[in-house]
Structure 1
Amino acid sequence: MTIYKLEVVRTVQKNQEIFTGFLTKELAKSLTFCDHYPPAPNRLGYQRPPEKKRAVDFAAYLNKNPAGFVTPILLNARQKLDFIPTNPDILSPFGSIYIKEGHNLSIIDGQHRTIGILDYFEHGIDIPFLLFNCLDTEYEQDLFITINREQKKVSMSHVHFVGHKNDMLSELVIRLESDPDSPWYHNVNLVGARGTKRPVSLQSLRASLQELLQSGEVKMLDIEKQYQLAVDFWNVVAEVWPEAWQATRNSLLKKAMGTLAVSKLGSYLIPLVLNRETGVIDQERLRVYLKRAENVNWMSDGDFKGYSSRYASDMVKAKLDSLIFASRGV
């Protein structure tokens, strides 16, 4: 019977021995298994069966993303392992463990990363691990449930915030939030955090700007002019509906639904008030259009009570259209 030697670092948490180290692809294929449903002999079957797409996607992530690295997988040795310190004469965490051949290491977390590397990633790469030495299987299952139950996806606002240098719309939103001359100054939740008391997220305002700046004339402008156009537009909006804009609670105007509805309206109005030579909008003409709807009640118990979805923004925009353009022409 083959016995494999792994160089590791040893530590102890709550009297539980833990090792960290690396597995080659060959050793990972030989030693690890995922205890998924349906249970096999001497298995518990407590995990979901692996999904090929997730494994393939992870392999593609490693292959194409310069920042694509393998994070440690979480393992449990179902049989007790012996640890031999490198230097038995001194107290040291460095040493080796010896593992019998066979699938003896249960993957608690990281089955898709492991499968992606073993089956779909063609290059050689070592897999880092954190390995419990014979953790009770009840604790193993509980740890799996805890990891997956508490796992939260990163919000798209946070994604756009981190990648804003490669995304013009996210860059514009961040500038709107940080510019004291912007009506959105300190009013945007840039990373999707809870409890910020800011009415709109980066993701939502980004989607609104995408609508607002969608006309061909605007897309031809450089980023500085597009930014100033956005500032001027929202300044006029804030002037026309001051109560709703200044309200810190219960106003739909600065919520995702309201900003999207107004931006959809703005995408039609801006070409009507844009000076194509200077790339600047006529704020007074824009104000004239919007003031035709100045009596709209944007509060949560007002004209759009209960409206909250993207579809609802189309209904709000239709209401604004009827007030601004009905029997008036342009």
Structure 2
Amino acid sequence: MTDQFNFVDPDVISFTFECLKATQPIGDIFLAKISHTDLIKITHFDVRRVLQEDRDVEKYLGIQRPLIKSKVDALHKYVNFFDASFPTAIIIAIKEEYVEYDEDKRTITISNTARDENEPSIPISNIARVLDGQHRIAGLKDFQGKFFEVPVTIFVGADISDQAHIFATVNLEQQKVHKSLTYDLYSLAKSRSPQKTCHNVAVALDQDKNSPFYERIKRLGVATVGRDFEPISQATFVESLMKYISKDPKEDRDTLLRGKSLPKISNEDLYVLPFRNMFISNEDMKIAEVIFNYFSAVKERWPVAWANNDKGNILNRTNGFKAFMRAYEHVHRLHGLPSGVVPPHFIKNYMAAVNLHDKDFNTDNFKPGSAGESALLSLLKDVRI
């Protein structure tokens, strides 16, 4: 441990927070609300230490838990969004001698001076060990607003084995929410967003009996009862489409939440983001129509492969879908008019020029994974008409 972590404050420093005590099998835990500034002050060295050395909990478990810069950078941005929220508690542990709980006032006081002592014996910035929430705390350092209160669970006097158990439970055993479910939840939002629009397009094409994607999009990350072939996940569809609407979907969503408008784009930018102006103009169904026509042409050009449910066929599965979606930019450029919409007759002529037969869309020619997707995309981008 470096000397700076051992530097003791010259004066007594204490913080008092509103707090509730909850009794659990592991012992009493304390549920507090703490402002982001105070939380940063009492956890500063512990969060910073992750960048410099292993901590006791990690040593005990024999693992490493680095602070991931990309995740912190994303949270720096997120905390300043209009609807930023950390609803789940950050979990910290503090030695018992530095804590006092007032049962009557329901407050907890944290001090750099041990109970029954008069002089500080620990830096206030090194008083709390973070068991869960290190990235959120690091992200809050860039919060530009006035006040951000955070729910915090405090373990008082927990020994290293208890801390390791808590750490393992919240960090190693939690189940992630499937991306498809996450995008589905955007449909409940009142405001517009690229995420919500792409979700709506996916649902519309999945439910339209005339659509090439009719009952082929897997919603919520799980198979739909009564369907036997759902080769495209909702997350895959949404993310592939969203790249043509926004370079920064979260930023766009935040702008719209604040009641602001997005500027339209033109010329070269429209080749990269062909559906952006349609989105800005609330023409979601026009976007759906373009995708409908584009993949209807794929289905018409290779009807056998599109209908083939065998695992060896890649046209109607993730690799084929993603490659053709990425190829739309190329088709758009070939057409030469940066409107976002390529007419059906031009798309049909383009598909006819692709030198592939139904039987060619197999895993021998296009390997599973990103390599096969890239190989198909390269072939599609070589087409000139």
Q: TM-score, normalised by structure 1?
A: 0.69
Q: Matched residues in 2 for 1:73 and 1:150: separation?
A: 16
Q: Does 1:28 align with 2:39?
A: yes
After TM superposition, give the deviation of residue 68 of structure 1 in Å: 0.8
- In structure 1, the residue matched to 2:78 is 61
Counterpart pick for 1:14 among 25, 33, 47: 25
- In structure 1, the residue matched to 2:159 is 136
- Deviation track 1:198-220 (CA, whole Å, cap 9, x = no partner) reads 3123343356557999769x768
Kept in 1: contact 2:331–2:350 (CA 8 A): no
Q: Matched residues in 2 for 1:202 and 1:177: separation?
A: 10
Q: Matched residues in 1 for 2:145 and 2:136: separation?
A: 14
Change (3 A) 1:53 1:181: closer
Counterpart pick for 2:317 among 255, 258, 261: 255
Kept in 2: contact 1:39–1:45 (CA 8 A): no
Aligned to 2:96, the other structure's residue is in SS state: coil
- Map 1:174-323 to 2 at 5 A: 174-191=203-220, 193=221, 198-206=230-238, 223-250=284-311, 251-263=313-325, 281-282=344-345, 286=349, 289=352, 293-300=356-363, 304=365, 306-309=367-370, 311-317=371-377
Aligned to 1:296, the other structure's residue is in SS state: helix
Aligned to 2:359, the other structure's residue is in SS state: coil
Answer with 28-37 or 198-207: which moved more: 28-37
Change (3 A) 1:292 1:96: closer
Answer with 230-239 or 261-270: which moved more: 261-270
Q: Matched residues in 2 for 1:269 and 1:119: separation?
A: 42
Q: Aligned-residue CA RMSD in angstroms?
A: 4.5
After TM superposition, give the deviation of residue 17 of structure 1 in Å: 1.0
Q: Matched residues in 2 for 1:76 and 1:229: separation?
A: 55
Kept in 2: contact 1:237–1:290 (CA 8 A): no
Kept in 1: contact 2:303–2:358 (CA 8 A): no
- Deviation track 1:83-117 (CA, whole Å, cap 9, x = no partner) reads 4433xxxxxxx833344434443221123333444
Q: Matched residues in 2 for 1:233 and 1:12: separation?
A: 60
- Map 1:37-48 to 2 at 5 A: 44=56, 46=58, 48=65
Aligned to 1:227, the other structure's residue is in SS state: helix
- Map 1:145-164 to 2 at 5 A: 145-150=168-173, 157=180, 160-163=183-186
Q: TM-score, normalised by structure 2?
A: 0.61
Q: Matched residues in 1 for 2:316 and 2:374: separation?
A: 16
Q: Matched residues in 2 for 1:23 and 1:238: separation?
A: 57
Q: Which amino acid aligns with 1:312?
A: G
Q: Does 1:77 align with 2:94?
A: yes
Q: Matched residues in 2 for 1:234 and 1:15: separation?
A: 57
Q: Matched residues in 2 for 1:123 and 1:135: separation?
A: 33
Structure with bigger gyration radius: 1
- Deviation track 1:210-238 (CA, whole Å, cap 9, x = no partner) reads 7999769x768865444334223323433
Q: Which amino acid aligns with 2:193?
A: N
Counterpart pick for 2:193 among 153, 160, 166: 166
Change (3 A) 1:124 1:52: farther
After TM superposition, give the deviation of residue 60 of structure 1 in Å: 3.8
Kept in 2: contact 1:23–1:127 (CA 8 A): yes
Q: Matched residues in 2 for 1:212 and 1:34: separation?
A: 41
Query: Sequence identity, in percent?
Result: 19
Q: Which amino acid aligns with 2:106?
A: G
In structure 2, runs of 5+ residues without a counterpart are: 1-11, 59-63, 113-123, 246-269
Q: Matched residues in 2 for 1:118 and 1:284: separation?
A: 50
Q: Matched residues in 2 for 1:115 and 1:215: separation?
A: 37
Q: Matched residues in 2 for 1:305 and 1:290: separation?
A: 19
Aligned to 1:34, the other structure's residue is in SS state: helix
Aligned to 2:92, the other structure's residue is in SS state: strand
In structure 1, runs of 5+ residues without a counterpart are: 87-93
Change (3 A) 1:262 1:97: closer
Kept in 1: contact 2:91–2:152 (CA 8 A): yes
After TM superposition, give the deviation of residue 78 of structure 1 in Å: 2.0
Q: Matched residues in 2 for 1:185 and 1:69: separation?
A: 36
Q: Matched residues in 2 for 1:76 and 1:118: separation?
A: 20
Q: Matched residues in 2 for 1:125 and 1:265: separation?
A: 44
Q: Which amino acid aligns with 1:227?
A: A
Structure in which a larger fraction of residues adopt strand: 1
- In structure 1, the residue matched to 2:4 is none
Aligned to 1:129, the other structure's residue is in SS state: strand
Matched positions, count: 307
